[in-house]
Amino acid sequence: DIQMTQSPSSLSASVGDRVTITCQASEDISDYLNWFQHKPGQAPKLLIYDASNLEIGVPSRFSGGGSGTDFTFTISSLQPEDIATYYCQQYDNFPRTFGPGTKVDVK
């Protein structure tokens, strides 16, 4: 199985701050990577697909990059509504695997 790691596991930042999360795959997954936002009590929501493509309707403050084994997810200006856990997921191989998540909080 492809192992996905994320760092940090949690972070707290101020409104307006730039926030970056990293995701690393245990082997080359090209750009077959999604980023999801998961708020408590809600279904997870797709933000980024194919590592760097913004899903329709998602605010432009969210962005993704990387390929191969190393990926980044950035919120350019953190907003209060961005409080959530963020997961990366690879879809290069079965079983599909998720990172352990990064919990984002606002100071």
Partner 1 sequence: QGQLVESGGGVVQPGTSLRLSCAASEFTFSAFGMHWVRQAPGKGLEWVAVILYDGTNKFYRESVQGRFTISRDNSKNAVYLDMTSLRAEDTAVYYCLRDRVSYSARPSGTYWGPGTLVIVSS
44 preceded by a cis bond (ω within 30 of 0): no
Q: Which stretch binds partner 1 (CB under 8 A): 19-27, 38-46, 60-68, 70-78?
A: 38-46
Q: What is the CA radius of gyration of the chain?
A: 13
Answer yes or no whether residue 37 interacts with partner 1 by CB under 8 A.
no
Q: Considering only 17-25, 32-40, 62-70, 76-84, which stretch makes contact with partner 1 by CB under 8 A? A: 32-40
Q: Which of 2, 25, 89, 104 binds partner 1 (CB under 8 A)?
A: 89
The string of DSSP codes covering 15-36 is TT--EEEEEEESS--TT-EEEE
49 near partner 1 (CB under 8 A): yes
